[in-house]
Structure 1
């Protein structure tokens, strides 16, 4: 039985869907069982045949984290520590989701898992603290760092852009931050692969893995492709909307963003024997799926 923590969020919803499609038994919790309360976590697990724990819960409001430091730290560091501690007690593997924000964005080529971490904001700092806390509490863990995540459930860049394109004559998107968009399906499939291999008795090296779709683009590049594919599928109805580039400094935010956060996915592909999808293909899958929520672009 796989326990999905944060099952109502964008990623958690997709992980549950992927497990269900593959007929893997799971149970899910969200705010009903607080990750900040070890006793509550322990009580929920009591009497259940849990074989794997996947934590999709997190504080992800990057800008708000600058003023809600303790809340971010509680959810991104203290909570994961509690879960890791429980996973150790139960003797089960623990998968946790982390972020490209643990890096400072000064790299110029894809970043490997062993690159020095140097977050430049509270969100990244607390996620880095969470990684450290997990490694201190258990050895049987998989930390999956991802980036630019979007999915059918919840707010995300793709829905936001299509809605803006349909309601404005033009949109401006930053063209000086490089990374890789990631469909939640990609990350959920990697989680499924790890769980499946472990269930079959195969050894999967513990540690940190980088998981995104393939490619290296800017947010502006992403927006242009959303427009092109959106028009093709009839989702972007305002064909005259202009998608224009701009500099990060034109839209100052409370939290700094990494200028370069392309992650090197060699390790995860080699270890799991998979090939991750190209970001354009993942976007196409997202837009054509029956799971696409048209209400979110209105």
Structure 2
């Protein structure tokens, strides 16, 4: 198996690179944006032609949700055009492409969990550009897996866990949104699932290409997630004391981009298709030392 990874220094990309590093049976070409600008079609074609991957995993994205409202062209270049070029290049060499997407493609107000066939209706530029990327990948490459996820956290990059730990060191009290719900998802678990799917494809197993959801359980609010983060941080001695937490509603914390009130994703389809378990974010938080670095 020959795997080309884009966005290799991001939350998921770094986990992918680390998990694949010691496998002698897998050739890996891990590239960050300095070494491959996925918005440059000629550069993408050249990289793919030179490495000749059997699998392309696109972990590159413009994920700054609020900045996306102003950086519209950049958002579409990275989240739509880049995936399109990668998918076209994958098709040209007979490779499969695994592309990471987001819960933001939905309106975010459904009762219950979102399934893969639910109607998409993004509420901001980030979600719109990511949905455009999904469509581009599907149209450009026959062998495609779209993996929608939510509330990603890990040892690398910026995320909610790191933000809470940083604030907890300096603040005695914090107000956290309590009326938005989702499934925190450990980046290392996303990487593990992508590698499993890639391996099945490379082995020639019958794979149902298409869109899948993968995120963590149990579903919680941001307030409940923060509460668990601080409990574990104090328990493991990384914070001296837990700040006082107050649950607030979304309207009390206005942001340039609208956030979904419901980011719950059903993982039933991916569990049945690939025999994978949902991400247990409570277990992942036990590695909290890694997020403190």
TM-score bracket, normalised by the shorter chain, equals over 0.9
Per the alignment, residue 284 of structure 2 pairs with 282
With over 3 angstroms needed to count, the CA separation of the structure-2 counterparts of 1:205 and 1:104, relative to structure 1, is: same
Per the alignment, residue 198 of structure 2 pairs with 195
C-alpha contact 1:213 1:282 (8 A) present in aligned 2: no
The whole-number CA distance in structure 2 between the counterparts of 1:173 and 1:10 is: 23
Per the alignment, residue 275 of structure 2 pairs with 273
C-alpha contact 2:165 2:292 (8 A) present in aligned 1: no
- Give TM-score, length-normalised by structure 1: 0.94
2:230 to 213, 227, 234: 227
Per the alignment, residue 141 of structure 2 pairs with 138
**SS at 1:63's partner residue?**
helix
* Structure 1 residue runs of 4 or more that deviate by more than 6 Å after TM superposition: none
Per the alignment, residue 42 of structure 2 pairs with 39
Per the alignment, residue 256 of structure 1 pairs with 258
Please say if 1:124 is aligned against 2:102: no
The whole-number CA distance in structure 1 between the counterparts of 2:147 and 2:209 is: 11
Deviation at 1:8, TM superposition (A): 1.5
Deviation at 1:114, TM superposition (A): 0.5
The whole-number CA distance in structure 1 between the counterparts of 2:50 and 2:23 is: 25
Per the alignment, residue 212 of structure 2 pairs with 209
Deviates more, 1:251-260 or 1:195-204: 195-204
**SS at 2:216's partner residue?**
coil
Per-residue deviation, residues 185-243 of structure 1 (Å, max 9, x unmatched): 11001001101112222112100000111221100000000011111111122x15202
- Give TM-score, length-normalised by structure 2: 0.96
C-alpha contact 2:63 2:126 (8 A) present in aligned 1: yes
Which structure 2 segments of 5+ residues have no match?
none
The whole-number CA distance in structure 1 between the counterparts of 2:47 and 2:199 is: 24
Please say if 1:181 is aligned against 2:179: no
**SS at 1:225's partner residue?**
helix
Number of aligned residue pairs: give it: 290
The whole-number CA distance in structure 2 between the counterparts of 1:265 and 1:102 is: 16
Per the alignment, residue 85 of structure 2 pairs with 82
C-alpha contact 1:186 1:213 (8 A) present in aligned 2: no
**SS at 1:172's partner residue?**
strand
Structure 2 counterparts to residues 41-80 of structure 1, below 5 A: 41-80=44-83
Deviates more, 1:267-276 or 1:253-262: 267-276
Which structure 1 segments of 5+ residues have no match?
none
**SS at 2:51's partner residue?**
coil
C-alpha contact 1:187 1:211 (8 A) present in aligned 2: yes
C-alpha contact 1:110 1:263 (8 A) present in aligned 2: yes
C-alpha contact 1:98 1:145 (8 A) present in aligned 2: yes
Deviation at 1:134, TM superposition (A): 0.9
Deviation at 1:273, TM superposition (A): 1.2
Per-residue deviation, residues 96-116 of structure 1 (Å, max 9, x unmatched): 000000001111111100000
Deviation at 1:153, TM superposition (A): 0.8
The whole-number CA distance in structure 1 between the counterparts of 2:260 and 2:13 is: 25
Deviation at 1:127, TM superposition (A): 0.4
Deviation at 1:25, TM superposition (A): 2.3
Deviation at 1:46, TM superposition (A): 2.4
The whole-number CA distance in structure 2 between the counterparts of 1:71 and 1:183 is: 27
C-alpha contact 2:230 2:242 (8 A) present in aligned 1: no
